[in-house]
Amino acid sequence: MRNWLIYEPPGGAHPTLEGVEAFVTVREGFSKLAFLVPLVWLVWRRCWAALVVYALVEIALAFVARWAGVGGGGAIVLAFLPNLALGLEAAWLRARSLERRGYRLAGSTLARTQEEAEAHFFHEWLGETTRERTSSVRDGGGYRAQPPMVLGLFPQPGGAR
């Protein structure tokens, strides 16, 4: 199972099919595409600051390899180090890029595929927005305290330890 981050577009989204289409889903984990073709991946995902840093690091490593007299396999290993870092941090870079553009983290879910993750998240999201709408009409839109979050193995607060 993979962890998927769901980002809501700037200004929020309406609980309609068009509103659902505006969300962005990001899979956490190693990105093979970012590792193999980093420049294409950075441009495609519009991570401009990371693109500049990646290019500067590659240039610096080329100068270091030439200055140190590293040749052959060592130069290739040095050239792939930034690719490895980018592959490992691709999800984080994309998430920061989305946040800079005004997206906000709406939630995360565990799922095998992107479709499964989106179906699970939107089923809950559409249910919550419907409940919020009906409860705000009943309650007059007042403040409602959130139930306490539970972390760990026990499903209830104060459960057996």
Six-digit token pair at 98? Answer: 């989305």
Q: Is residue 155 part of a domain?
A: no
Q: Is residue 150 part of a domain?
A: no
CA separation for the pair 80, 83 (Å, rounded): 5
pTM for the model: 0.67
| Lowest mean pLDDT across 73-77, 87-91, 120-124, 155-159 | 155-159
Q: Which residues pair with 111 in a beta bridge?
A: 2
- List of residues 6+ apart from 106 with CB closer than 8 A: 6, 7, 8, 23, 121, 125
Q: Is residue 157 part of a domain?
A: no
CA separation for the pair 71, 78 (Å, rounded): 10
By the 8 A CB rule, do 5 and 25 touch? yes
The count of structural domains within the chain is 1
Where helices occur in the chain by DSSP H, the ranges are 17-21, 32-36, 38-44, 48-68, 73-100, 114-139
> How far from chain centre, in Å, is Cα 139?
35
Q: Is residue 102 part of a domain?
A: yes
Task: Write out pLDDT tens, residues 24-66.
Answer: 999 999 999 999 999 999 999 988 999 999 999 999 998 988 8
Angle at 41 between CA 40 and CA 43, to 5 degrees: 65
Q: Is residue 149 part of a domain?
A: no
CA separation for the pair 63, 70 (Å, rounded): 10
Q: Which sign does the torsion angle of CA 111, 112, 118, 122 carry?
A: negative
Task: Write out pLDDT tens, residues 104-144.
Answer: 999 899 999 999 998 999 888 777 655 554 444 444 444 44
Q: Is residue 144 part of a domain?
A: no
Range of the domain at 69: 2-125
Task: Write out pLDDT tens, residues 151-161.
Answer: 566 566 555 55
